[in-house]
């Protein structure tokens, strides 16, 4: 009886060790891999700001919208740049490996004593390496 018990324990331990090993385990997928079968570009839908929108100093420039892909989005950025001095006044970065849509939002509160032009730039890439860019010019008056 003792012999049967010890044999059962040894077999149980052997099964556990074998099932926890990496033998036959699936390989991890590289989440940054390019999908060679994806040749359709993502689509940017910008709801804010409207082209040539005029703000008053103290208002917030808001960049808002979504980017959609028929397969899977990868990464992107949204930036607001002061055209007079070239400074990047606000930016957000995004990354995903499983979403088909990324909603973005970025705000920058303006404080300008002279009329100033800004550029809102939206740039995203899907897992096929397909990149899209959209820019919108806005103006802030004192």
**pLDDT of 51-103, one tens digit each?**
999 999 999 999 999 999 999 999 999 999 999 999 999 999 999 989 999 99
**Residue 111 falls within a domain, yes or no?**
yes
Domain assignment of residue 34, yes or no: no
C-alpha to C-alpha distances, 121 to 19, 37, 57, 100, nearest whole angstrom: 51, 28, 20, 21
**Domain assignment present for 5:** no
**What's residue 17's pLDDT?**
52
Within 8 A by CB and 6+ apart from 65, the residues are 44, 45, 46, 47, 48, 103, 104, 122
Could you give the percent of the chain with pLDDT greater than 70? 80
Question: Does 79 map to a domain?
Answer: yes
Q: Take residue 61 and report the two structure tokens written for it.
A: 């420039």
Q: Note whether residue 97 is domain-resident.
A: yes
| Residue at 119 is within a domain | yes
- CATH number of the domain bearing residue 133: 2.60.40.2550
Name the H helices within the chain. 2-20
Least confidently predicted of 7-21, 68-82, 83-97, 122-136: 7-21
Number of domains in the chain: 1
Tell me which of 13-22, 30-39, 125-134 is least confident: 13-22
Question: Has residue 64 been placed in a domain?
Answer: yes
């Amino acid at each position: 009886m003792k012999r049967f018990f010890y044999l059962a324990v040894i077999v149980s331990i052997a099964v556990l060790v074998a099932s926890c090993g990496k033998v036959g385990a699936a390989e991890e997928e590289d989440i940054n891999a390019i999908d060679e079968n994806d040749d359709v570009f993502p689509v940017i839908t910008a709801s804010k700001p409207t082209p040539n929108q005029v703000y008053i100093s103290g208002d917030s420039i808001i960049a808002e919208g979504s980017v959609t892909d028929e397969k899977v989005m990868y990464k992107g950025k949204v930036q607001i740049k002061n055209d007079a001095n070239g400074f990047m006044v606000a930016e957000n970065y995004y990354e995903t490996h499983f979403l088909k849509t990324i909603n973005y939002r970025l705000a920058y509160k303006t404080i300008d004593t002279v009329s100033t032009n800004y550029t809102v730039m939206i740039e995203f890439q899907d897992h096929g390496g397909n990149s899209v860019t959209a820019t919108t010019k806005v103006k802030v008056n004192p």
